[in-house]
Amino acid sequence: MPIEQLDLPTSAEVFSAAQTIAGQVHTTPLIRSTQLDTLTGANLHFKCEHLQKVGAFKARGACNAMAQLPAGTHLVATHSSGNHGAALAWAAAQAGIECRVVMPETAPMAKRVAVASYGAEIILCGPSLADRESALAKLVAETGAHVVPPFDDPRIIAGQGTVALEIMHQCRDAGFTPDIVIAPVGGGGLLAGIGLAMKALDPGATVLGAEPAGADDAQRSLRSGQLVTSQQPDTIADGLRTTLGQRNFAVIRETVRDIVTVSEAGIVEAMELLWTRTKQLVEPSAAVGLAAVLEHGARFRNKQVAIVLTGGNMDLDRACGLFNSREKTA
Amino acid sequence: MPIEQLDLPTSAEVFSAAQTIAGQVHTTPLIRSTQLDTLTGANLHFKCEHLQKVGAFKARGACNAMAQLPAGTHLVATHSSGNHGAALAWAAAQAGIECRVVMPETAPMAKRVAVASYGAEIILCGPSLADRESALAKLVAETGAHVVPPFDDPRIIAGQGTVALEIMHQCRDAGFTPDIVIAPVGGGGLLAGIGLAMKALDPGATVLGAEPAGADDAQRSLRSGQLVTSQQPDTIADGLRTTLGQRNFAVIRETVRDIVTVSEAGIVEAMELLWTRTKQLVEPSAAVGLAAVLEHGARFRNKQVAIVLTGGNMDLDRACGLFNSREKTA
């Protein structure tokens, strides 16, 4: 669809979303680590969205979308590798509305258990985005469910952007403004929302996206100016295997300076550093921001850098397996 | 030594210690988990000492002891399974004083690395308390080092007790007072300090100690009225393998209601719950308080319970190994 025909969200909608979801989601802490500052030569501020409701920033967008459902909606549905599904299931349960979630069979068991624990029905499908979309289309045809997409939706983008409003408040309370705000990018809901918010609050700050080199569609899209709509993702960051949405791409082009990529080893290293130095249990996708600082050090040196830790949901044995070879050679 | 000849710390020394160490240690958060409250039927408040300097409450006592060294001290020494050693090494480095730490060969590598990272010299010894004490005695004979013991010391007990002052402030700010304060007990520095503080601040609150059934000297000491001075500890909680100190026993008898024991499976379950539900990476010893709530549920139901999460230092591969069998059968 041509950009001019898309219903793109505005900065004002991010501010409005913050009012809508206040009291339903947590204001999460912004934490520091002397050891990680020393290691990177930067001033790092970690926004703890793994401590958000349902353990991920996705609660923000889901809450905002649920507040704007069409009248008479009795059933909502979505597809998700996990955190958006859990967030929608949680938000729907709070609103007393039924929810179904299409999930890839490759999603971590912990995320499937979370979705089920909020009372939603799970429909399993193949691992690709096309698999998910066709399963969701079938569900909608059969039930008339209202779809709340995981990222390509103005309500979702605006909701996720509220994290940047909190970051700015917290930075100002601490007496500084961030030079750089960096967030992982999968479908681009979070990054687009942050871009919109920062454009309104502090257009001088640099907003960066970070993604695995094995799922680098956002970087290729941004650099070519053409939305890359398919890829064969190869990354442990299960939350970042999707490709950018149309609306997300349109917003990110206007508000985000650059997308940087990181290696798989870098993600594991960053995750281990976050676990052992900050004692925060974050999932692989959430470690991509710190991995970018580790692998693109010069860009961040001596800067005030806000990094979004996006979630903390994972299967412990799978996560622990990532560290095994590293520990044994230490 | 008869109790009347021991230099026992007082509640006033805990308050004084809080003044001494203010600004050097963190005021750590007191966090909640809706899921864990639901699971246990209690109102749990977790005091996050794994987010303390050096990743453990031990920074409090070490800081307080360093501020009261005999004039002319040029070298301090101690024995420790890890966290006290790291804390003393850190506090000594801040004060510009040399430090040596006797450590059992069985101490987690992460704890050895931490001690070394603060610039202290490590002397390895056998795993028993007797091994540690003889290695330390030899070191003192050779160097004239001033010993800062890990727990059986009035400065250390008073320093650790400051955690209870913070808990009480934080509970009152949140509009309630704790019915129960529970902390793990190894040598008893933390528990004795909490007992002293609570006796002064809120003598109606119940102070409980928790220890592994495989290292239950504190329970046996308290129940028999005779200090048990040796045991063959068999527990994954490496911070709790020591036996109670004399001063600690004397204070705990007067200020602590009871010591409860927990199983090894209970420790692993509590640790996994803390990791996955609160996203906080705590070490096995730190999970003993929640394990007690899980295994002695009736005692805690509907109560306001403050639980000290004592530390977050461990070898990841060893910790992950604890979960493996559980994950595979899930």
Using one digit for the tens of pLDDT, what is the confidence trace for B85-140?
999 999 999 999 999 999 999 888 888 999 999 999 999 999 887 898 999 999 99
Same domain? A248 vs A283: yes
Range(s) of the domain holding residue B126: 59-147
pLDDT for B329 equals 43
Look at residues A305, A285, A303 and name the one whose alpha carbon lies nearest to residue A239.
Answer: A285
Instruction: Report how far residue B139's alpha carbon sits from residue B145's, in angstroms, rounded to the nearest whole number.
Output: 7
* Edge-to-edge strands, sheet with A75-79: A121-125, A98-104, A75-79, A146-147
Q: Which of A107-111, A190-194, B33-37, B219-223 has the lowest mean pLDDT?
A: A107-111
**Residue B323 or residue B263, greater confidence:** B263
CA dihedral A298, A300, A302, A308 (to 10 degrees): -160
Q: What is the CATH number of the domain that holds B117?
A: 3.40.50.1100
pLDDT tops 50 at residue B328: no
Chain B residue with minimum CA distance to A275: B281
In this predicted structure, what is the pLDDT of residue A330? 40
Do residues A133 and A194 both lie within one domain?
Answer: no
What's the CA gap between A54 and A87, in Å, rounded? 6
> Count of CB contacts below 8 A, A vs B?
59
* DSSP line for B100-147: EEEEETTS-HHHHHHHHHTT-EEEEE-SSHHHHHHHHHHHHHHH-PEE
Residue B111: its pLDDT value, please? 86
Q: Do B317 and A320 touch (CB under 8 A)?
A: yes
CA A46 to chain centre: 14
pLDDT tens track for A98-128: 999 999 998 888 889 999 999 999 999 998 8
Average of per-residue pLDDT values in chain B: 94
Chain A residue numbers touching B281 (CB-CB < 8 A): 275-276, 279-281
Which of residues A101, A125, A147 is at a domain's end?
A: A147
Boundary of a domain, candidates A121, A147, A173? A147
Q: What pLDDT is attached to residue B51?
A: 97
B309 contacts: CB under 8 Å, gap ≥ 6: B46, B47, B48, B49, B50, B274, B280, B282, B286, B287, B289
| Average pLDDT value for residue range B223-244 | 92
Q: Which helix (H) or strand (E) holds A181?
A: strand A180-184
User: How far, in Å, CA of A258 to CA of A260, rounded?
Assistant: 6
Interface test with A, best of B35, B57, B320, B324 (most A CBs within 10 A): B320
Considering its fold, how many domains does chain B have in total?
A: 2
Of B110, B276, B279, the CB nearest to A280: B279
Together in a domain, B123 and B211: no
Q: What is the pLDDT of residues A191-241, one digit of tens each?
A: 999 999 999 999 999 999 999 999 999 999 999 999 998 889 999 998 899
Q: Do A324 and B317 touch (CB under 8 A)?
A: yes
DSSP SS3 for A265: helix
* Nearest residue on chain A to B330, alpha-carbon basis: A109
pLDDT at A82: 79
Rg of chain B taking only CA atoms, in angstroms: 18
Would you state the pLDDT for residue B327? Answer: 47
Name which of A28-32, A66-70, A114-118, B190-194 the model is least confident about.
Answer: A114-118
Q: Which of A275, A317, A327 sits opposite B323 (nearest CB)?
A: A317
The pLDDT value given to residue B330? 40
Tokens of A114: 């979370």
pLDDT attached to residue B1: 66
Q: What is the pLDDT of residue A272?
A: 96
Q: How far is B280 from chain A (nearest CA, A)?
A: 5
Asked whether residue A171 falls in the same domain as residue A259, the answer is yes
pLDDT at A29: 97
Are A163 and A238 found together in one domain? yes
Of B200, B216, B290, nearest to B258 (Cα)? Answer: B216
The ipTM of this complex is 0.90
Q: Which carries the bigger pLDDT value, residue A186 or residue B323?
A: A186
B25 shares its domain with B39 = yes
Looking at the structure, do residues B71 and B134 belong to the same domain, yes or no? yes
Encoded tokens for B292: 């007690």
SS3 at position B22: strand
Q: Which of B147, B163, B196 is the last residue of a domain?
A: B147
> Measured between CA atoms, how close is B18 to chain A, in angstroms?
23
Residues A145-169 have a mean pLDDT of: 97
B101 and B176: one domain? no
Q: Does the distance separating the beta carbons of B282 and A281 come in below 8 Å?
A: no
Residues of A within 8 A of B109 (CB-CB) are 330
> Binning pLDDT at 50, 70 and 90, where does residue B272 land?
very high
**A85 and A126 housed in the same domain:** yes
Q: What SS3 state is found at A281? A: coil
Both B137 and B195 in one domain: the answer is no
Distance between first and last Cα of chain B: 52
Shared domain for B314 and B201, answered yes or no, is: yes
Give B-chain residues touching A110 at CB under 8 angstroms: 276
Q: Nearest to residue A212, comparing CAs of A130, A268, A156?
A: A268
- Do B115 and B40 reside in the same domain of the chain? no
Residue B35 has pLDDT above 90, yes or no: yes
Q: pLDDT tens across A51-108, in order?
A: 999 999 999 999 999 999 999 999 999 998 779 999 999 999 999 999 999 999 988 8
Which band of pLDDT confidence, cut at 50, 70 and 90, is reported for residue B326? low
Please judge whether A327 and B312 are an interchain contact, meaning their C-beta atoms are less than 8 angstroms apart.
Answer: no
Bigger pLDDT: B81 vs B140: B140
Q: What is the rounded average pLDDT of the residues B233-245?
A: 92
